[in-house]
Amino acid sequence: MITTIKSTKLRETKNFIKGFFKLSDKTKTSFEIDKRSGNWYQWGNTTDNLCISVPKIEKIIYEFMYNDV
């Protein structure tokens, strides 16, 4: 079975975008994006699911940081 993102929760603060993804394999991946630099990190995920979460995080970075330009 292919793992997918079932839901996404985002919260924006002055300097960060924080959130998590709930995946169909019943895991939860949390992440934090630094709005000043665009750097990010995530935790609570296995390397097998990075192909799911990384593109989604990169899309969030683009939408929040570069779409307003």
CA distance 62 to 27: 25
Q: Tell the burial category of 20 from Cβ atoms under 10 Å away from its Cβ (0-12, 13-18, 19+).
A: buried
Determine the Cα–Cα distance for residues 69 and 64; give it in Å rounded to an integer: 10
Q: How many domains does the chain have?
A: 1
* pLDDT at residue 59 in the model: 93
Among residues 46, 69, 64, the alpha carbon closest in space to that of 21 is found at 46
Q: Residue 68's pLDDT band (boundaries 50, 70, 90)? A: low
Host domain of residue 11: 5-66
Is residue 38 over pLDDT 50? Answer: yes
Reported as a single tens digit per residue, the pLDDT across 13-34 is 999 999 999 999 999 999 999 9
